[in-house]
Homo-oligomer: A and B are copies of this chain.
Amino acid sequence: MTSLILYTPSGVLAKGGPLKLAAKRLKKLGFDVAIDEAALAKHLRFGGEDDVRLEAIHRVARARPGIALATRGGYGLTRLLDRLDWSLLAASVEAGTRWVGYSDLTALQMGLLAHKKAPTWWGPHACDDFGRDELDEVTPDCFAEAMTGALEAVGFRTESGFDGLDTRGLMWGGNLAMLCSLLGTPHWPKVRGGVLMLEDVGEHPYRVERMLLQLHQAGVLASQKAILLGAFSDWKKSPLDRGYTLKTVVAHLRSLVNVPVLTGFPFGHVPTKVTVPFGVKGHLVVQGRDAFLGWDEDHAHHHPGHDGHGHDHDGHAHHDH
Contacts and interface: CB of A to CB of B under 8 A. Distances in A.
A84 to B, nearest CB: 12
A45 B184 contact: no
Given A240-B11, A242-B45, A218 B184 contact: yes
A137 to B, nearest CB: 29
A217 B185 contact: yes
Contact of A213 (B42, B79, B214, B218): B79
Contacts of A182: 214
Given A184-B183, A210-B78, A42 B217 contact: no
Interface string A1-21: 000000000011010000000
Nearest to A210: B78
A78 B210 CA distance: 7
A235 interface: no
A313 interface: no
Interface string A214-229: 1001101000000000
A300 B26 CA distance: 64
A240 B14 contact: yes
A81 interface: yes
A181 interface: yes
A171 B78 CA distance: 27
Residue of A45, A74, A75, A183 most packed against chain B (CB within 10 A): A45
Contacts of A79: 209, 213, 252
Contact of A12 (B188, B220, B242): B242
Interface in A149-189: 180-188
Nearest to A256: B82
Contact of A238 (B45, B184, B239): B45
Task: State the number of copies, please.
Answer: 2
B42 A242 contact: yes
Contacts of A52: none
A256 to B, nearest CB: 9
Contacts of A241: 44-45
B78 A181 contact: no
A244 B184 contact: no
A243 interface: yes
B14 A214 contact: no
A207 B104 CA distance: 12
Given A184-B184, A184-B188, A44 B243 contact: yes
A218 B186 CA distance: 7
Contacts of A78: 209-210, 213-214
A214 B238 CA distance: 28
Ranked nearest first, the 4 interchain pairs of A and B with the lowest CB-CB distance are: A183-B184, A185-B217, A184-B218, A44-B244
Interface of A: 11-12, 14, 42, 44-46, 74-75, 78-79, 81-82, 180-188, 206-207, 209-211, 213-214, 217-218, 220, 238-244, 248, 252
